[in-house]
Amino acid sequence: MKLIQVNHYEEMSKKAADIITHYIKNHPNAVLGFATGSTPSGLYENLIEDHRKNGTSYKAVRSFNLDEYVGLDGTHPQSYRYFMDEHLFNHIDILKENTYVLNGKAENLDMECKRYERMIQEAGGINIQILGIGRNGHIAFNEPGTPFSSRTHIVELAESTRKANARFFQSIDEVPTHSITMGIASIMESQKILLLASGPSKAEPIRRLFTEPISESFPASILKQHPNVVIIADKEALKDTDPNLFNEYVVKESTPIL
């Protein structure tokens, strides 16, 4: 793992965008893995701004998203398809048909999981996967206890995750109980992983990432086994971690880092 320390959310978002745009310039056919949530929104704003100012093109880029709520279709404002359209896809020149988001309304969800895995394989795998981290260490919607060998699957959401995500809905009752998510093994197959963490609510999972052993009870811990992970974390996200534990991972330059 490599760690880029930044002061705040804006700096994290800008650094992440620089890494992605640098990569796309050198690999116009990149396959990107996108994430949702409040963490990557600033990254997407920066990508849009860069596209407008510098013309970085996504015409040959394909993308896969990590997860989706079961029961919400792409017209639901809290679906992750809607989020991606609104926060990124509608504002850059990526072809919509090259953006893949799991279908949470598929009639046969098991088939949908298999179809998604197949599409990722057919695309040649994901070059850079963007990740956030849940307060309990979940990645995508892989909750604590999910086998590291898991592939795309259906999950029942932890109560803590539903509570944390209730801020986007009118009330917690509206938060779906299940989601469909890339599995941990599927995520780990990405060539490169960019984990973003900002703010005090990420201080605990970031501390646990640097201090705890690799265990299925803390899903993000598996990232320590990945050969090419870059974490961009701000001061607040790092505030509870003893710098002696992460100093060895710190890198100064952000590009070309992935």
Ligand X SMILES: N[C@@H]1[C@@H](O)[C@H](O)[C@@H](COP(=O)(O)O)O[C@@H]1O
Tell me which residues are annotated as active site.
Answer: 67, 136, 138, 143
Which part of the chain contacts ligand X (CB under 6 A), choosing from 10-18, 34-42, 219-227, 250-258? 34-42
Closer residue to ligand X in complex, CB, 4/220: 220
Instruction: Please tell me whether residue 132 binds ligand X under the rule CB under 6 A.
Output: yes
Stretch that binds ligand X, among 16-24, 25-33, 56-64, 129-137 (CB under 6 A): 129-137
Rounded to a whole number of angstroms, the minimum distance from the CB of residue 110 to ligand X is: 20
Shortest spacing between CB 252 and ligand X, in angstroms = 25
Q: How far apart are CA 78 and CA 218, in angstroms?
A: 26
Q: Is 33 in the site for ligand X (CB under 6 A)?
A: no
What Cα–Cα distance (Å) separates residue 171 from each residue in 4, 21, 135, 162, 167?
36, 37, 19, 10, 8
**Using rule CB under 6 A, residue 140 touches ligand X:** yes
Which long-range CB contacts under 8 A does 35-39 form with residues at least 24 apart?
35/65, 35/66, 35/129, 35/130, 35/131, 35/132, 35/140, 36/65, 36/66, 36/67, 36/80, 36/83, 36/84, 37/132, 39/132, 39/196, 39/197, 39/198
For ligand X, the binding residues in 166-225 under the rule CB under 6 A are none
Q: Which is nearer to ligand X, 56 or 196 (CB)?
A: 196
Contact 83, 36 (CB under 8 A): yes
Plot region of 137 (φ>0 → left; ψ -120 to 50 → alpha; else → beta): left
- The residue written with tokens 């973003």 in the block is 196
Contact flag: residue 161 with ligand X (CB under 6 A): yes
Return the biggest CA–CA distance within the chain: 50
Residue 43 binds ligand X, judged by CB under 6 A = no
Site for ligand X in 50-109 (CB under 6 A): 66-67
Of the two residues 27 and 82, which places its CB atom closer to ligand X in the complex?
82
Nearer to ligand X, 161 or 221 (CB): 161
Residues that bind ligand X (CB under 6 A): 35-39, 66-67, 132-134, 140-141, 161, 165
